[in-house]
Amino acid sequence: MPQEHSTDKGRVAERLLASIDLIDASQACALLRIDADDPEGVLQAMAREHGVIALIQNGRIRLPLFQFDTANGRVFSVVRDILRLRPARISNLRLCYWLTRAHAGFGCAPADRFGKDDAAILAAFSRYIEPERHG
C-alpha cells in the first residue's frame, strides 16, 4: 500500500506541474536580465535566499512563470514576502498549488492578482498557514 501511495503522490505532482507554466533557469535569467554562466546556480541561490519559487522537474530546476513581472523584468515582491512567511511544512509544490487554484476571496487564483492585491494575498496566505486549533 505505501508504494501505491507514493505513486499516487507522484502523479499528483506531475499533474500539478503540467498545469503550471514553467520556465527553465536560462529563461528565468533572461527574463530577469541576468547574464550568468551558470543560470541554474544563480536561481538555486535565489531560491535559498527566498527570492524565487523553484521546483525540480526531471532533475532540473524549473520556475513557475506566474512569479515573474515580465513587463518589468523582476520577481513580484509579494513572492519574497510569501516565501518568508511560509512555514517549513509547506513545500514549494504545495505553495504553487495554493497560488494557482481559485480562491474565494479573489474569484481567481492568488497568482493572477500578483502586483494588484499583494496585501490581500499575504493576508489570505497567513490565514492558510495558521495552525489548526481544536477545542
pLDDT tens for 64-112 read: 999 999 999 999 999 999 999 999 999 999 999 999 999 998 999 999 9
Average pLDDT over residues 28-38: 96
pTM for the complete prediction? 0.85
**Pairwise CA distance, residues 113 & 51, whole Å:** 19
3-class SS string, the chain? CHHHHHHHHHHHHHHHHHHCCEEEHHHHHHHCCCCCCCHHHHHHHHHHCCCCCCEEECCEEEEEHHHEECCCCEECHHHHHHHHHCCCCCCHHHHHHHHHCCECCCCECHHHHCCCCHHHHHHHHHHHHCCCCCC
Q: Cα–Cα distances in Å, from 12 out to 7, 17, 28, 51, 99?
A: 9, 9, 25, 26, 16
- 6 has pLDDT over 60: no
Can you name the residues that pair with 63 across neighbouring β-strands? 23
Query: What does the mean pLDDT of the chain come to?
Result: 90
Domain boundaries, the chain: 2-129
- 4 has pLDDT over 80: no
- 54 has pLDDT over 60: yes
84, exposed or middle or buried, with CB in 10 Å at 0-12, 13-18, 19+? exposed
